[in-house]
Chain A
Amino acid sequence: GNSVTQMEGPVTLSEEAFLTINCTYTATGYPSLFWYVQYPGEGLQLLLKATKADDKGSNKGFEATYRKETTSFHLEKGSVQVSDSAVYFCALYHNQGGKLIFGQGTELSVKP
């Protein structure tokens, strides 16, 4: 079945460091892929998305490229800030059943 696997956290970085959070997926066909972010004490919110192979989603300095050949959608940011501290969820939507499949989440902590 469809599934999403993320790198385990927590990830701790210093401010201005480069960030990569790995995400791989298993699905038939061509799912849409997403990154959601959950700040402390809040619900999840959409960060970026890509709907077809080789698409790049971007928002707030974050980027992720839909790689069909490696079934991956890694999240990157060139210079993280303390305010980026949150839990990041990778997810896929496949047109079967109408629901999102979420990864387990990766906690990011950025220290000043």
Chain B
Amino acid sequence: DAGVIQSPRHEVTEMGQEVTLRCKPISGHDYLFWYRQTMMRGLELLIYFNNNVPIDDSGMPEDRFSAKMPNASFSTLKIQPSEPRDSAVYFCASSLPGTRTDTQYFGPGTRLTVL
């Protein structure tokens, strides 16, 4: 079975540009999580979905960030407009149904650099 798939693996963009990060969860998983990791702030949960519905978006830093999950096999995290302080590694994770979301399976991450 393929793991969680994220694209792109690396993204370099200029301040003010729109950035879209993509995630394909493991088939059959019904929870999907978006995290951001930086040296300064560590690992932060941005938002998570259950059965394609956003459950908690309290970690989304501001209105420039938005996330969608149009179906069970795809999610996007969009930043518009991007700023240098958004530079980080963004992880997507998914988890099995019925396991109280404990065992999360992480993707390899997208390293975003905003110049």
A residues with CB within 8 A of B: 32, 34, 41-46, 49, 89, 93, 95, 97-100, 102, 104-105
Contact = CB atoms under 8 A, between A and B. Distances in A.
Contact of A32 (B50, B55, B100): B100
Interface stretch (B14-22, B64-72, B103-111): B103-111
A104 B42 contact: yes
Interface of B: 4, 31, 33, 42-43, 45, 48, 50, 55-56, 91, 93, 100-109
Given A43-B108, A44-B91, A45-B106, A98 B42 contact: no
A100 B50 contact: no
Given A43-B4, A95-B100, 17 more contacts: A42-B108, A43-B91, A43-B93, A43-B107, A43-B108, A44-B91, A44-B93, A44-B104, A49-B102, A49-B103, A93-B101, A93-B102, A98-B50, A98-B101, A99-B48, A99-B101, A100-B102
User: Which applies to chain B's interface (DSSP): helix, strand, loop or mixed?
Assistant: strand
Nearest to B41: A104
Contact of A98 (B43, B48, B107, B109): B48
